[in-house]
Amino acid sequence: MTKEVKVLIIGGGASGLIAAIAAARNGAKVTILEKMDRVGKKLLATGNGRCNLTNINMDLRFFHGKNVKFAQGILRAFDVEQTLTLFEYLGIAYKVEEGGKVFPMSDQASSVLDVLRYQLEELKIEECCNAEVVRIIRDKEGFRIVLKDGKSVGGDKVIIATGGKAGPQFGSDGEGYKLLEELGHSVIEPIPALVQLKLKASFLKALKGVKFIGEASIMMEEKALRTEAGEILFTDYGISGPPILQLSRRASTALTNEKTKIHIRLNMFPHLTEKELMELLEIRLGYQPQKPLDFSFIGLLNKRLIPVVLKEAGVKELQKKCGEVSQKELKNIIKILRQWEIEVVGTQSWKNAQTTAGGVNVEDINGKTLESKLIPGLYLAGEVIDIDGDCGGFNLQWAWSSGYIAGEYAGLS
């Protein structure tokens, strides 16, 4: 008879839970060590509480990292179809929404966690909560995991699925990086991703809560690094909304590594060319030349945007008559409406970030099994690795794929 392999999983998030199931299915005795008072806390917050399980438009172009190709084999080895088949088996009916986003039919992240935990019980997987790991020791017997309370746990294999630094309130505080650095792994500096941006502007409090559908681009030295479209929201510290979250990784990277000024460029009328917008404004202003300029924009722009846009365009007299507006002023207004640039000075904190860019360098990880090349029997999964995805279910798919593969190989005797 082959010896029963004892697998210890550090971290009870998405990747850790799926790793536990995969390892147990291969006959391993599995224990999850979770520092929080229960597993899956961050999973409950995903997709605004609905859990964006995955995305049917899975493609490597939606992922990032120093060596993003590393993710390709893992994403193929346990792909979207296999992920959805597993969750259907566990009891999750699903639906596909705009952009290929997949959600449980229940619209409840809690239902995903419920079926995962039920499977843990069925497979006799032990959950040890309030178990904070402070050290991993490799010895002749295998591994010894030392906990903060002084106790230790022994095992044959270890999977580190501690997450990154995003969402420390859910337990992801970067401790996994320290554990792996102590074992010889290098870490690419983690920075917040899928996070709101801070802007340098005096008008932010006046625009707090104002939304519009448009385009946003990250600009560096007049070059657009990336452009996204959708609902954009002004806040008292800067700007938010799905397009901004998608752009935030590039902005965060540029601010951290390139030490140069970064701007966000906003286009409130992406469906109109500059010429078409000029014609539209000339008609509006020409209808009632005696009407105050600021009032002429009511019905076209959010009321709170009007004075800010006009001031940013250099119009000093906001209530001047429409018939008195010069061509230069009109061109300046159009520039703000289509190419409004505001300096980006940072991002919101880790508490607000949805994921981590950076993490453990993939050079020292086996691209097929996710086993450490430095420490035999040690595996990595999820956000702790230097792979991150865009909004829309891509990060959770990486968690499912990497967790399942790590668990599958760790569970082998």
Q: What is the pLDDT of residues 79-102, one digit of tens each?
A: 999 999 999 999 999 999 999 999
- Beta strand ranges found along 185-335 (DSSP E): 187-193, 197-200, 211-220, 223-234, 238-240, 262-267
Mean pLDDT of 132-143: 94
Residue where the block lists tokens 């843990």: 120
**8 A C-beta contact, residue 176 and residue 160:** yes
Mean confidence (pLDDT) of the chain: 96
Q: Tell me how far the alpha carbon of residue 308 is from its chain's centroid.
A: 31
Mean pLDDT of 36-63: 96
Coil, strand or helix at 93: coil
Please name which of 262, 195, 277, 273 lies closest in space to residue 226, comparing C-alpha atoms.
262
Handedness of CA 382, 385, 390, 394 (dihedral sign): negative
Q: What is the pLDDT of residues 253-306, one digit of tens each?
A: 999 887 789 999 999 999 999 999 999 999 999 999 999 999 999 999 999 999
The pLDDT, as a whole number, for residue 1 is: 52
Mean pLDDT of 53-79: 98
What predicted TM-score, i.e. pTM, was given to this entire model? 0.94
According to DSSP, residue 118 is labeled H
- Domain boundaries defined on the chain: 6-191+357-410, 196-347
Mean pLDDT check: name the lowest of 103-107, 154-158, 254-258, 359-363: 254-258
| Topology (CATH level 3) of domain 6-191+357-410 | FAD/NAD(P)-binding domain (3.50.50)
Q: What is the pLDDT of residues 201-233, one digit of tens each?
A: 999 999 999 999 999 999 998 899 999 999 999
